[in-house]
Structure 1
Amino acid sequence: MLQIIADGLIIGSVVSLGAIGLSMTLSIVRFSNFSHGELLGWGAYLTLVASTGLTAANAALVAPIGPFSFGWGLLIALAVSAVLTALLALGLDTLLFKRLRKQGAITLVIASFGAALALRNLLLFWQGGVPQYYTQNLQIAIPLLPRSVWGGLRVTPDQIFVLTLTLVTVAGLHLFLSRSTLGRSMRATAINPGLARVTGIDPECVLRATWLIGGVLAAVAGVFAGITVQLRPTMGVDLLLPLFAAVILGGIGSIWGAVLGGLIVGLAESASVTVVGAEYRSAAAFAVLIAILMVRPTGLFGEKG
């Protein structure tokens, strides 16, 4: 039981970070961006390329940090990738979505489908279809509890790193949105864009910040997926449905709702592997989504219209 919960929290951490960016796009830009999942894939692979370049230039960056399977090269590469992925997200808006914004949400959704296909196939052409890994170092799971206690609990140091950094990232984003001027402007625009514009808030500045933050979070989520599982060019589309499930489950526009929704989706997928088999993971997550929406149609943290 405890192992299922731990595995679910690991999966949920990746889904939560990706879902936050998607939720911000839905609430501020006001359309369902189906290309958001591909930003996770690009962030993961940009980190791989940057890490390879850094470690080739300085072999000392390859050495693992303490008990982790990766070295400083990966962390530096993650910072580089976060910036590049944020610029990629902003570039998509500038070159595509901004030009179509006056055409309505349906046009934007269709355009995002096309952007997703283009990004996925470009990534496949660039990196090939063979799964890759950030490191070949093997990790042995650390037993935290004996098997006599609820079946025991074993986690790897990398998984602990992912959970910890997810909490730090979410807490930092919460402080930014609640304490900074730009963060409060983003929240005001999400609630009432017309009134926010009247009060002097620059909507274009808010939109740019939304894309940049969403790109950074997508890159971090993609790297976490690569650390805990593997890198695949299709990882973005594989994660897209869980991301949407987490956003809807938590309530559109709610940061903590996206986090909680992501954790619930992760727990549902983890439990389904043991109960009904790995092939029904997505179905189990959506079954939980439907059950909760029947009780609370606006999501766990959504506001009634």
Structure 2
Amino acid sequence: GFDVPLPRPLRFSFGIKATPEQLWLIAIPALAMLVIFAMLKYTRLGKAMRATADNFSLAEVRGIDTGKIIMFTWLIGGALSGLAGLLAGLDLVIEPLIGWNLTIPVMAASILGGIGSPIGAVIGAIVVGIAEEMTAHFFNPAYKVGVGFIIIAILLLIRPQGLFGQPEIKK
């Protein structure tokens, strides 16, 4: 067999340790987010995607091929999901039901940030992730999945639209 050296963690402030692979697991999604945000803001495709999401009928009237836009949106979403699965496989044990363990934290992050707010979802994900890991220090780590439920329950009572979401306007 081959000897595989164990990665030595790098030490940062506040006792934080991370391996170089874990730093890549932060850098690659951050770069992907920057590329997606830039694409949505500065390209014709991004503007067409935003227009289609805001008002489908008006986008069609303005000459946007909404069918193509929807196809590109699914294509980009699939590529990002594939990237997420690839990166998750580098740090997690892949098992058939892995998605169920990630569903609640992802939903909690999107609700916390505010539905329809990409920046809010990113901030929500950071808050939920830190809350889960902090909980694991004080309670049995098996309970950290419940943190997402608690965040959703408290947030829906206090601010149903999320931190960065807009309140629904009744017409």
TM-score category, normalised to shorter length: 0.7 to 0.9
Deviations 1:98-128 (A, max 9, x none): xxxxxxxxxxxxxxxxxxxxxxxxxxxxxxx
Distance 2:60 2:131 in 1: 41
1:141 matched to 2:9? The reply is yes
What number of residue pairs does the alignment pair up? 165
**SS of residue matched to 2:12:** strand
Question: How far does residue 191 in structure 1 lie from its aligned partner after superposition?
Answer: 1.6
- Unaligned runs of 5+ residues in structure 1 are 1-135
Partner of 1:266: 129
Work out whether 1:290 is the aligned partner of 2:153.
Answer: yes
For the pair 1:228 / 2:111, whether they are aligned, the reply is no
The one of the two structures with greater contact order (alpha-carbon pairs below 8 A, sep at least 6) is 1
Q: Could you tell me how far apart the structure 2 residues matched to 1:235 and 1:241 are?
A: 12
Q: Of 28, 33, 38, which aligns to 1:170?
A: 33
Return the letter of the residue paired with 1:302.
G
> Once the two structures are superposed, what CA deviation does each residue of 1:258-284 show, in whole Å capped at 9, x if it has no partner?
211211221121111112221211211
Counterpart contact for 1:268–1:288, Cα < 8 Å? no
Give SS of 2:167's match: coil
Alpha-carbon distance, 1:177 to partner? 0.3
Aligned in 2, Cα 1:283/1:256: closer, same or farther, shift over 3 Å?
same
**For residue 138 of structure 1, what is the amino acid of its counterpart?**
L
Using structure 2 for the length normalisation, give the TM-score: 0.87
Of the three residues 33, 46, 55, the one matched with 1:183 is 46
Report SS of the residue matched to 1:138.
coil
In the TM superposition, what whole-angstrom CA distance separates every residue of 1:80-99 from its partner, at most 9, and x where no partner exists?
A: xxxxxxxxxxxxxxxxxxxx
Question: TM-score, structure 1 length as denominator?
Answer: 0.51
* CA distance, structure 2, for counterparts of residue 289 and residue 259 of structure 1: 16
4+ long deviations beyond 4 Å:
none
Across the aligned residues of Structure 1 and Structure 2, the Cα RMSD in angstroms comes to 1.7
Q: 2:18 aligns with which of 155, 158, 176?
A: 155
In the TM superposition, what is the alpha-carbon distance from 1:229 to its structure 2 partner? 2.0
CA contact (8 A) 1:177 1:183 kept: yes
Instruction: Give the direction of change, closer, same or farther, for the CA distance of 1:137–1:181 in structure 2 (3 Å limit).
Output: farther
Q: CA–CA distance in 2 between the matches of 1:187 and 1:302?
A: 16
Partner Cα separation in structure 2 for residue 194 and residue 303 of structure 1: 22
CA distance 1:139–1:201, shift in 2 (3 Å): same
